[in-house]
A and B are shown apart, each in its own frame.
Chain A
Amino acid sequence: EAGVAQSPRYKIIEKRQSVAFWCNPISGHATLYWYQQILGQGPKLLIQFQNNGVVDDSQLPKDRFSAERLKGVDSTLKIQPAKLEDSAVYLCASSPIPRTGTGVNTEAFFGQGTRLTVV
């Protein structure tokens, strides 16, 4: 089974430039997450999609970050303009919808991440 694919793996940009990351989740997974992981910290949820609808974007800096999930499959995360503090690893993950009442706990499957350095 193919895993979560992310690209690029690494990106270096200057501040005030724009950048985009791409994620292809595991086939059939309805839930897609974007996390930001700053060095030395745990992942922080930026946005969560269920199919192509946003269910949580409370921690997304909407003045500069945007994300979309086309047709409920692939997703892109964009930063425009980037700031120095956006330097981090951006992780994409996907999971199936939990099946309530079955005792099945659905974990999230993570991609390798994109390491962004803003200089």
Chain B
Amino acid sequence: AQSVTQLDSHVSVSEGTPVLLRCNYSSSYSPSLFWYVQHPNKGLQLLLKYTSAATLVKGINGFEAEFKKSETSFHLTKPSAHMSDAAEYFCVVRPMFSGGYNKLIFGAGTRLAVHP
């Protein structure tokens, strides 16, 4: 069965320091992978998505993620955190073979706090 695990429920960083949000997936085949961000009282916004073209994916707001098949990981990083990055982040996997039905599986989320 496919699943996604976000290894940290909470991450706290200081403004200007690097951000690392960890995500591991389990899938029999190479899945599609996404990171979404959710600010308080807002809907989910796509940060970035993995395509088979490149293992290092750049997203919006300076975020990027690297697909590592050998480690079944898709960690999200940012070199320098801003206060506005404080939000909930979700790693999402779409199994390659989901009957053509675009099934999406969410991780439990990581809450990022950014301190001055």
Contacts and interface: CB of A to CB of B under 8 A. Distances in A.
A56 interface: yes
A107 interface: yes
A103 B46 CA distance: 18
Given A105-B51, A105-B94, A97 B106 contact: no
Interface of B: 32, 34, 36, 41-46, 49-53, 90, 94, 99-104, 106-109
A69 to B, nearest CB: 14
Give the interface size bracket for A toward B.
20 to 34
B104 A108 contact: yes
Contacts of A116: none
Nearest to A93: B44
State the majority secondary structure of interface residues on B: loop
Contacts of A112: 42-43
A108 B99 CA distance: 17
Given A50-B101, A98-B100, A112-B42, A103 B51 contact: yes
B86 to A, nearest CB: 16
Nearest to A31: B102
A42 B52 contact: no
15 contacts: A35-B106, A42-B107, A44-B106, A45-B104, A55-B99, A97-B100, A97-B102, A98-B32, A103-B52, A105-B34, A108-B104, A109-B46, A111-B43, A112-B42, A112-B43
